């Protein structure tokens, strides 16, 4: 089962608070509370759980702990949570309005080590484009959430991982985009610790790619 980890009661209350204060956009979130409320029941019921669009390293800490308890849980993130932060809202305005919201610079940087540590299982686009007139109101609350991602996910991650970090072209962008989601999404017996495809081989290939990048 997959869930978008936010608490709408908290979000709506904060939005109203910010509107009353005359703010044009908010910088707050309730993601970690939603994640823990999903993880604990999933642990006791034994279901397979997937967390969409993890945007804060604290969420990954919680997920890692439950994985250590033997729980079958996966998580994803998106390029905008890895590469952008709430400070960019000053420039891009409502084009940066997404759910969950952009986080602090420290949170974005804190997500990146989770990729190679396999706390983040794969990267997705969260593709949700909007008409231009739904993203240009000076008051961010009057705009739609979401943005295009399908056409930008590969060039963004290629630029960040291969050009920026020197990883092999068959490393992070490939394994965390088309291949790993397909592997983890394969049908498998409930509670099985490994999907049918040998993830150990995938990890070995990733390690080889990282070693090759280090020699370059």
Structural domain of 199: 158-216
pLDDT at residue 80 in the model:
92
pLDDT at residue 29 in the model:
62
pLDDT at residue 78 in the model:
92
Q: What is the pTM of this model?
A: 0.76
**Residues 136, 54 share a domain:** yes
Q: Write the CB contacts of 49 (distance below 8 Å, at least 6 apart in sequence).
A: 1, 2, 3, 38, 39, 42, 71, 72, 73, 74
pLDDT at residue 198 in the model:
45
List the CATH number of the domain containing 71.
3.20.20.140
Counting other chains too, the contacts that 107-112 makes at CB distance below 8 Å and 24 or more residues apart are 107/55, 107/56, 107/57, 108/81, 108/82, 108/83, 108/84, 110/56, 110/57, 111/54, 111/55, 111/56, 111/57, 111/60, 111/77, 111/81, 111/82, 112/82
Output Rg (C-alpha) for the chain, integer angstroms: 18
**Residues 86, 45 share a domain:** yes
Which of 103, 123, 151 represents a domain boundary (last residue)? 151
CB 82 within 8 A of CB 111: yes
CB 209 within 8 A of CB 167: yes
| CA–CA distance, 129 with 146 (Å, rounded to integer) | 6
CA-based nearest residue to 64, from 99, 103, 36: 36
Which of 100, 131, 151 represents a domain boundary (last residue)? 151
Backbone CA torsion sign across 53, 57, 63, 64:
positive
| CA–CA distance, 99 with 80 (Å, rounded to integer) | 11
Note down pLDDT in tens along the chain; length 216 residues.
Answer: 777 777 777 777 877 887 788 765 555 567 888 899 999 999 999 988 999 999 999 999 999 999 999 999 989 999 999 999 988 988 888 898 888 888 889 999 999 888 878 788 888 888 888 999 999 998 888 888 888 888 888 888 888 877 777 666 666 656 667 666 666 665 444 454 454 444 444 455 445 544 544 444
CB 94 within 8 A of CB 141: no
Task: Write the pLDDT tens digit of every residue in 113-129.
Answer: 888 787 888 888 888 88
**Residues 147, 51 share a domain:** yes
Which of 127, 151, 175 represents a domain boundary (last residue)? 151
**Residues 17, 109 share a domain:** yes
CA-based nearest residue to 89, from 180, 23, 188: 23
Count the domains in the chain: 2
């Amino acid at each position: 089962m997959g869930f978008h980890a936010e608490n709408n009661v908290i979000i709506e209350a904060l939005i109203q608070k910010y509107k009353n204060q005359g703010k044009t956009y908010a910088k707050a979130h309730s993601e970690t509370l939603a994640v823990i409320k999903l993880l604990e029941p999933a642990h006791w019921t034994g279901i397979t759980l997937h967390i969409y669009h993890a945007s804060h390293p604290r969420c990954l800490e919680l997920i890692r702990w439950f994985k250590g308890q033997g729980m079958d849980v996966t998580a994803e993130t998106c390029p905008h949570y890895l590469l952008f932060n709430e400070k960019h809202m000053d420039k891009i305005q409502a084009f940066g309005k997404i759910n969950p919201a952009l986080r602090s610079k420290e949170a974005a940087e804190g997500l990146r080590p989770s990729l190679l540590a396999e706390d983040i299982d794969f990267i997705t686009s969260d593709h949700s484009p909007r008409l231009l007139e739904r993203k240009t109101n000076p008051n961010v609350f009057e705009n739609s959430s979401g943005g295009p991602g399908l056409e930008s996910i590969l060039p963004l991650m290629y630029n960040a991982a291969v050009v920026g970090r020197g990883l092999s072209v068959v490393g992070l962008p490939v394994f965390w985009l088309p291949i790993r989601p397909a592997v983890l999404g394969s049908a498998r017996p409930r509670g099985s610790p490994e999907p049918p495809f040998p993830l150990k081989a995938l990890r070995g290939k990733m390690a080889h790619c990282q070693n090759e990048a280090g020699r370059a």
